[in-house]
Structure 1
Amino acid sequence: MMKKLTQFAVAAVCVTGFMSAMALDGGALYLDPTKGGCSACHGKDAKTPIMPTYPRLAGQNADYAFNQMKDIQTGKRNNGMTAAMKGITHLTTDEEKKAIAKWLSEQ
Structure 2
Amino acid sequence: MKTIAMVAGAALLSLGLAGNVLAGGADLYKTKACFSCHGADAETPIMPTYPKLAGQNAIYAFNQMKDIKSGKRNNGQTIVMKGIVAAISDAELKEIADWLATL
Give the TM-score normalised by structure 1.
0.74
Instruction: Output the CA distance in 2 between the equivalents of 1:71 and 1:99.
Output: 16
Structure 1: segments with no counterpart, 5+ residues = 1-17
- Within the candidate set 61, 65, 68, 1:65 is matched to 61
- TM-fit CA distance, 1:88: 1.1
Equivalent position SS for 1:25: helix
The amino acid of 2:76's aligned partner reads: G
Q: Which has the larger radius of gyration?
A: 1
1:76 — aligned with what?
72
Instruction: Output the CA distance in 1 between the equivalents of 2:47 and 2:86.
Output: 23
Map 1:1-107; keep pairs closer than 5 Å: 21=20, 25-32=24-31, 35=32, 37-107=33-103
Structure 2: segments with no counterpart, 5+ residues = 1-16
- Percent identical residues: 61
- Runs of 4+ with >6 A deviation: none
Instruction: Output the CA distance in 2 between the equivalents of 1:61 and 1:71.
Output: 15
CA RMSD of aligned residues (A): 1.5
